[in-house]
Amino acid sequence: EKHLVLLRDGRTLIGDLRSIDQFGTAGAAGANLVLHQTVERIHVGKKYGDIPRGIFVVRGENVVLLGEIDLEKESDTPLQQVSIEEILEEQRVEQQAKQESEKLKVQALKERGLSVPRADTLDEY
């Protein structure tokens, strides 16, 4: 059965669910998963691309969402599949635009006398 797994870091994996370890090292954090013939699906706008990843072991604490894919409805998507190279370039452009937007926001706040803590220092509090 094909399953979709959304990870805590935002990545999306699709693969055949081979094993669930509900009582293993993950404990209360959730079930460890083993996916076979896994692809990492990257979405940008109305396009997506799949990067083959093979066998993938996921610690339960990293799983945000796990769901079975309805194979009959999978092809009914308004999204356009593109090559790995194209989706990676689209993702790079999107991330660059987000960084530029964030820089503009920080600059606007500084001009108004406000400061924004850097993301890498938030864990220190």
Task: State how far the Cα of 124 lies from the Cα of 104, in Å rounded to an integer.
Answer: 25
Q: Please count the other Cβ atoms lying within 10 Å of the Cβ belonging to residue 86.
A: 13
Task: State how far the Cα of 89 lies from the Cα of 83, in Å rounded to an integer.
Answer: 10
Write down the pLDDT at residue 26.
46
What is the DSSP code (8-state) at residue 22?
A: T
Each residue of 89-100: pLDDT tens digit? 999 999 999 999
Domains of the chain, start order: 2-112 (2.30.30.100)
Each residue of 62-83: pLDDT tens digit? 999 999 998 878 777 788 889 9
Q: Give pTM, 2 decimals.
A: 0.72
Instruction: Give the residues across from 23 on adjacent strands.
Output: none
